[in-house]
Structure 1
Amino acid sequence: MSVLSEEDFCREMEILGRLHHRHLVTLRGFCSSRQERFMIYEFMENGSLKDQLYSSGRTPLPWKTRIQIAIDVANALEYLHYYCDNTLCHGDLRSSNVLFDKNFLAKVAYFGLEHSTRCASRHVPHNGNALGTSGYLDPEYMVTKMMTDKSDVYSYGVLLLELVVGKQASLNHRNLVQWSQELADSFRLSELVDPAIADAVDLEQLHVVVGIAKLCTQREVKERPSIKQILRMLRERLDPSYTGFAKAVQGEGCHDDGRLFTEKQQENEVIALSGDARCLQSSSSTSRSYCSRSILLECNSPQSPHGI
């Protein structure tokens, strides 16, 4: 599994045990012995986002649900990047690492010890073993071999595109980011949408989500917003007094100056994003989890979300 010593393993378990956020999968316990090491996480009854998007026979996720999932994941990343005891980069955000509990609440899984390496600063990268998954991996990481919070932002942008398109990050050896950008640049956004929900998508919201995804997947790290900016943009879409995304972006120093949003907003009034506002507020609380040496969790097959 991991090349970490037992001391390092226990130190990592202490770090992971302190993570506490409603949109992070909770570590319940671990086992460390000479023969094996493993971690036990809370059981997530409804499987992963990958299951829900791509498994045959499932009811398609509604547009409103997809928007809420995007907000939930962003809240989890904001907690890791800003509010946990030792700020962290996830390092491997992908659809199979977004899981759903029995109430279909989205939670980010934090599997893999290599992914829990601490970031001393949001602007200082950490060195580690190869991280990430093909299709989600920050192009800059391929050059520098260093992961930062902006690497997570890139992966988040790819995840946003997956929620819109309903296709996996690799499209027959084509890059989802490049393919979607080609359609967006040629004003063919409607062709991006998952055909299963095309008739139910709010076009204003579609422009917002695709615009944020484009910002997140800029090749230059400095051109990408922080996850805090992304959440701010989403929240301020719910505020009737808000006059443009440019304020949210410029206020944090993003180099794009909000052009993706202001151009569209000149044509139409702002429409609030769908979703339950309960998930928009981030939690900065942490708690110590005292982990037993071993825990056995009951397992059942994932279920489709209720009410869709």
Structure 2
Amino acid sequence: MKKLSIPTSASLDCINEYEREKEEEYDSFRVDSDSPSHHVPRPSSALRALREAVGSVSNMEDFERIEKIGSGFFADVYKVRRKLTNQIMVLKVNKGLTATKTRQEVELLKRLNHPNILHYIGSCIHNEQLHPLTEFVNGGTLKSLIQDVEKNPFPREQRIQLSLDMALGMEYLHENGMLHRDFNSNNCLLRKEGDRYTAVVADFGLAAKNPNLMKDLRCNQSVVGTPFWMAPEVLHGKRYDKKADTYSYGIVLCEIVSRKDADPDEIPRNDNFSLNEAAFRELPEVIGSPCPPAFIDLACNCSKFVPDERPGFPIIVRQLIQLHLISVPPSPVKRISWQDRALKNETIIKLMKDTSTTTK
């Protein structure tokens, strides 16, 4: 299979060029010497904006790091325990983003409120940098579930349900005017309750408003996202919109169908970076997949080369709900026959007679 030359790292150059502004120091107070009450500390505009943006602020020393659970180009992720309350959380330690960009991420997280979106708790400030605190999701990543072939049979109903969960989260994000821009199976977490999993969309470090508003940027010189899931228009440096998220979602669906890695050597691509639909459908893992044909069609449609040919998330949600209703029929209502009802009445009458005899 032909190996494609896909960029191996993401760049924020064009974003930083758009949003770069004079960095404001995180000093807490300033003194106005011309004021009669100059001895009273007055909060700076930067501090007021920061407090409004992040809500709850903590010190890094307030937490004990339990284990490192993830690492990426822009951040390391830790499972932590708040010393005072023993509450388990997740701390994302940013390492490659500007202060402006991390603050934008926190502002976005604080505004989002949906069961399929990672819940924001607060932020830590360390070395004049914001580090988000979020809920701890106990079921690992979708990618780990997909690739754990030996332990997880991954039944059809579960595949459809998790796909619907992710689509609902992405639909909510788009309805609020945001693009994720780094949607992939590593950024979909699983909340486990008993034997049931719920998918939660996470990692909004690259999320932004419609990037087409950045008219003066030379965005064709850089790419944003994780390469194997990037839409062709992003990889080619062209203008893009929310349909780029749809493409990334489509590759995740291809992972769910085939249980293969998103690497082009595993899930075949065309020379233009779009999904090679014919070759994908011929994979033994796809031919033998328990997913219904309509689900495989949806995965391929979301991964089309032309953005306008990809469905939006409202359509994706409707299609998945229909598939879910077909794949997971409602539990049948237990009907009581006249024989069972008669037997139940006889039992009640017998119990009443026994009680009457005992009383006498």
TM bin (shorter chain): 0.5 to 0.7
Distance in 1 separating the partners of 2:319 and 2:149: 34
For the Cα contact (< 8 Å) 1:68–1:274, is it kept in 2?
A: no
Return the TM-score normalized by structure 1.
0.64
AA paired with 1:64? E
What's the % identity of the aligned pairs? Answer: 27
Deviations 1:183-240 (A, max 9, x none): 53xxx47x23386xx5xx2xxx52101111121111111111111111122334578x
**Equivalent residue in structure 2 for 1:101, among 191, 199, 205:** 191
Distance in 2 separating the partners of 1:28 and 1:108: 16
Deviations 1:80-101 (A, max 9, x none): 011x3xx111111111111111
Return the TM-score normalized by structure 2.
0.55
State the superposition RMSD in angstroms. 2.9
**Equivalent residue in structure 2 for 1:90, among 180, 193, 205:** 180
Distance in 2 separating the partners of 1:40 and 1:141: 30
Aligned match of 1:137: 230
Aligned with 1:170: secondary structure? Answer: coil
Aligned match of 1:77: 170
Match runs of 1:244-263 below 5 Å: none
Deviations 1:125-144 (A, max 9, x none): 66777322222110011223
1:33 aligns with 2:126: yes
Which consecutive unaligned segments of at least 5 residues does structure 1 have? Answer: 240-271, 277-308
AA paired with 1:4? T
Aligned match of 2:242: 149
Greater shift, 144-153 or 91-100, is seen at 144-153
Deviations 1:85-127 (A, max 9, x none): xx11111111111111132211111242xx221128xxx5667
- CA offset at residue 153 of structure 1? 0.3
For the Cα contact (< 8 Å) 2:191–2:198, is it kept in 1?
A: yes
Which protein has the bigger strand share? Answer: 2
1:274 aligns with 2:328: yes
Aligned match of 2:317: 231
- CA offset at residue 274 of structure 1? 3.4
Deviations 1:24-80 (A, max 9, x none): 111222123335432122111110011112247532322210111111111011000
1:5 aligns with 2:102: no
Distance in 1 separating the partners of 2:231 and 2:327: 27
Aligned match of 1:15: 108
Aligned match of 2:278: 181
Aligned with 1:116: secondary structure? Answer: coil
Aligned with 2:234: secondary structure? Answer: helix
Aligned residues: 224
Distance in 2 separating the partners of 1:51 and 1:111: 20
1:60 aligns with 2:153: yes
For the Cα contact (< 8 Å) 2:187–2:201, is it kept in 1?
A: yes
1:212 aligns with 2:298: yes
Aligned with 1:169: secondary structure? Answer: coil
For the Cα contact (< 8 Å) 2:118–2:201, is it kept in 1?
A: yes
Structure of greater Rg: 2
Greater shift, 73-82 or 139-148, is seen at 139-148
Distance in 2 separating the partners of 1:3 and 1:130: 15
